[in-house]
C-alpha cells in the first residue's frame, strides 16, 4: 500500500479502533439500535456538528457540517444495525449479546464515518454541506425507505450520496467501483403450508406438509437461471424450514418455508415470486394443503450513477489504492440502492482480505486496518465535490 500525508496519528487510530471494538461488543439488530445511536451522538459530540438529527427513519442519526459558502450537499452513509447471529469467535471484543453480532462489518463502517467526523471538526468544507448518516435497519431493507420517508430528511436533500461496504474475498484495501449496476435486487418470501395434525400412529388421519416440503425444495431449482448477473438471472435460496413440533408422537400439521428471491432488476422480483407461488401452489394442492404467503425485506437493485462512481474512482486514485476490475455486479443486495432515487449515488467495495470469513458468517470481524482507508476515501469524495480546500490531506494507507 502507498503512504501519503497522515492526518490520523497513532493515538487517534488507537482511539477509533477501541471504539469499533466497543461497538462490536454491544450489537443491536435492525429496529433496535437505540443504544448504538446514543453511542454515536455521544462519541461524536465533540466534533460539534452544525446540526444533529436523531430518530431519523427510526433510530437513524445524521450529523451536518456546513461549509463556508453555498454548494452541493454530500451525504455519506453507514449502517447502525447488527445481525441475529451467534458469534463463535474467541476474540477479546466478541459480542456480549447472545444471538446478536456485528457479522457484516457495520461496526467498522460506523468507525470509518466517525473518523471523517473527526476531520470535519478540524476543518469544515469550503462550500456546501457534508452530512454523515448513520442509517438504521439496513439488514431488513426497511431503513433507507424509512429515512427517505421521514419529513426530517427533507432538511438534508442530498445532491450526492456515497457508501462503502467491506468485502471479504477482495485483497485487503483494494477497491472495486464502477458506474452501473453493482448489486442485485432481492426479496424474502415466507410460505406457510397448512394441513392437519394427527397422532403419529395414524398419520393417515392427518394432512402432513412433509412430502410437500420434500418436493418443493428441489423443484425450486427449476426456476433458477444463469450464472452471470445479467437480464434473466434468477436465484431462489431456501434459508429456513420449520415443520411441526419437536416431539415424536404428533405428525406435523403446519410448515413454514423461508426463501430469498434474487434478480438483477428490481421489477423482475415480482415475476419470480409469481412463478414460485404457482409452483408451490400446485404441489400444495396435490398434497391437500392450504397455502398462505407473505413477502419481506425487499432490497432494490443498487445502480451507481456514473458521475458519482467517477468521484469515488478519483478518490481511490488519489490515495494510490489498487483497483479490482470486473468485480461488480454481485449477487448480494444492499439497502443503499434507494438513495439513487433522490441523489446521484454510488457505493464502493473495499477488500477485507482474501482469507477472511465471509460477511454474515458467525466468525467474521471487521479488519481495523480499513478504518483510515475508508475514511480517506470518504474525505477524498468531499474534497472532489466540495472543492480543493475542503479536505487538503489524505489518510495514510
Identify the sign of the CA torsion 55, 300, 173, 171: positive
d(C-alpha 258, C-alpha 265), whole Å? 21
Given a contact cutoff of 8 angstroms between Cβ atoms, the answer to whether 276 and 283 are in contact is no
Q: Measure the N-to-C terminal CA separation of the chain; round to a whole number of Å.
A: 6
Given a contact cutoff of 8 angstroms between Cβ atoms, the answer to whether 212 and 284 are in contact is yes
Q: What percentage of residues in the chain have a pLDDT greater than 70?
A: 96
Given a contact cutoff of 8 angstroms between Cβ atoms, the answer to whether 131 and 156 are in contact is yes
d(C-alpha 95, C-alpha 87), whole Å? 7
pLDDT at 387: 78
- DSSP SS3 for 108: helix
What are the DSSP E strand ranges found in the chain?
Answer: 51-56, 60-66, 69-79, 127-135, 160-168, 175-176, 180-181, 185-194, 198-199, 235-243, 250-251, 254-263, 290-299, 303-304, 344-353
Q: How far is CA 78 from CA 75, 93, 116, 260, in A?
A: 10, 21, 12, 24
pLDDT at 82: 98
- DSSP SS3 for 178: coil
pLDDT in tens, 222-278: 999 999 899 999 999 999 999 999 999 999 999 999 999 999 999 999 999 999 999
Q: How many CA atoms lie within 13 A of 137 on its CB side?
A: 21
Q: How far is CA 355 from CA 92, 101, 169, 171, 180, in A?
A: 20, 20, 7, 9, 28
Confidence of residue 388 (pLDDT cuts 50, 70, 90): low
Model pTM score: 0.92
- DSSP SS3 for 243: strand
Within the chain, where are the H helices?
A: 10-25, 34-43, 106-122, 143-149, 210-219, 268-286, 306-319, 370-386
pLDDT in tens, 268-307: 999 999 999 999 999 999 999 999 999 999 999 999 999 9
d(C-alpha 296, C-alpha 187), whole Å? 6
- The stretch 369-385 carries a mean pLDDT of 96
- Burial of 262-292, coded b for 16+ CB within 10 Å and e otherwise, reads bbbbbebbeebbebbeebbeebbeebebebe
d(C-alpha 21, C-alpha 367), whole Å? 11
According to DSSP, the residues that pair with 29 across neighbouring strands are 82
Q: How far is CA 161 from CA 211, 340, 382, in A?
A: 49, 8, 11
d(C-alpha 106, C-alpha 224), whole Å? 31
pLDDT in tens, 156-167: 999 999 999 999
d(C-alpha 187, C-alpha 140), whole Å? 10
Confidence of residue 219 (pLDDT cuts 50, 70, 90): very high
User: Does residue 1 have a pLDDT over 80?
Assistant: no
pLDDT in tens, 200-216: 999 999 999 999 999 99
d(C-alpha 170, C-alpha 104), whole Å? 15
Amino acid at each position: 500500500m502507498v503512504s501519503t500525508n497522515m492526518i490520523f496519528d497513532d493515538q487517534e487510530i488507537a482511539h477509533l479502533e477501541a471504539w469499533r471494538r466497543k461497538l462490536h461488543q454491544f450489537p443491536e439488530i435492525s429496529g433496535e439500535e437505540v443504544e448504538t445511536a446514543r453511542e454515536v451522538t455521544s462519541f461524536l459530540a465533540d466534533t460539534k456538528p452544525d446540526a444533529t438529527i436523531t430518530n431519523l427513519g427510526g433510530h437513524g442519526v445524521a450529523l451536518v457540517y456546513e461549509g463556508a459558502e453555498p454548494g452541493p450537499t454530500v451525504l455519506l452513509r453507514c449502517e447502525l444495525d447488527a445481525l441475529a447471529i451467534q458469534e463463535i469467535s474467541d476474540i477479546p471484543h466478541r459480542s456480549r449479546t447472545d444471538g446478536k453480532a456485528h457479522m457484516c462489518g457495520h461496526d467498522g463502517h460506523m468507525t470509518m464515518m466517525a473518523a471523517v467526523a473527526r476531520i470535519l471538526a478540524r476543518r469544515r468544507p469550503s462550500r456546501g454541506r457534508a452530512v454523515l448518516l448513520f442509517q438504521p435497519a439496513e439488514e431488513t431493507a426497511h431503513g433507507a425507505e424509512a429515512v427517505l420517508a421521514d419529513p426530517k430528511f427533507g432538511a438534508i436533500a442530498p445532491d450526492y450520496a456515497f457508501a462503502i461496504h467491506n468485502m471479504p474475498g477482495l485483497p485487503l484495501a483494494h477497491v472495486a467501483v464502477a458506474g452501473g449496476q453493482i448489486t442485485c435486487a432481492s426479496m424474502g418470501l415466507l410460505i406457510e403450508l397448512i394441513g392437519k395434525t394427527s397422532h403419529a400412529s395414524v398419520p393417515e388421519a392427518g394432512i402432513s406438509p412433509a412430502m410437500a416440503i420434500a418436493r418443493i425444495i428441489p423443484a425450486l431449482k427449476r426456476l433458477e437461471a444463469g450464472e452471470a448477473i445479467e437480464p434473466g438471472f434468477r436465484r431462489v435460496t431456501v434459508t429456513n424450514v420449520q415443520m411441526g413440533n419437536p416431539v415424536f408422537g404428533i405428525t406435523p400439521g403446519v410448515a413454514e418455508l423461508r426463501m430469498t428471491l434474487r434478480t438483477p432488476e428490481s421489477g423482475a422480483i415480482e415475476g419470480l415470486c409469481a412463478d414460485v407461488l404457482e409452483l408451490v401452489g400446485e404441489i400444495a394442492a396435490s398434497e391437500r394443503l392450504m397455502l398462505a404467503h407473505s413477502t419481506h425485506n425487499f432490497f432494490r437493485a443498487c445502480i451507481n450513477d456514473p458521475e458519482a462512481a467517477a468521484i469515488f474512482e478519483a478518490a481511490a486514485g488519489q490515495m494510490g489504492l489498487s483497483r479490482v476490475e470486473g468485480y461488480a455486479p454481485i449477487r448480494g443486495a444492499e439497502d443503499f440502492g434507494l438513495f439513487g432515487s433522490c441523489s446521484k449515488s454510488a457505493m464502493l467495495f473495499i477488500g477485507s482480505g482474501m482469507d477472511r470469513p465471509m460477511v454474515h458468517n458467525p466468525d467474521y470481524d471487521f479488519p481495523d486496518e480499513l478504518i483510515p482507508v475508508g475514511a480517506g476515501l470518504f474525505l477524498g469524495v468531499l474534497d472532489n465535490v466540495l472543492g480543493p480546500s475542503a479536505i487538503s490531506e489524505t489518510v495514510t494507507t
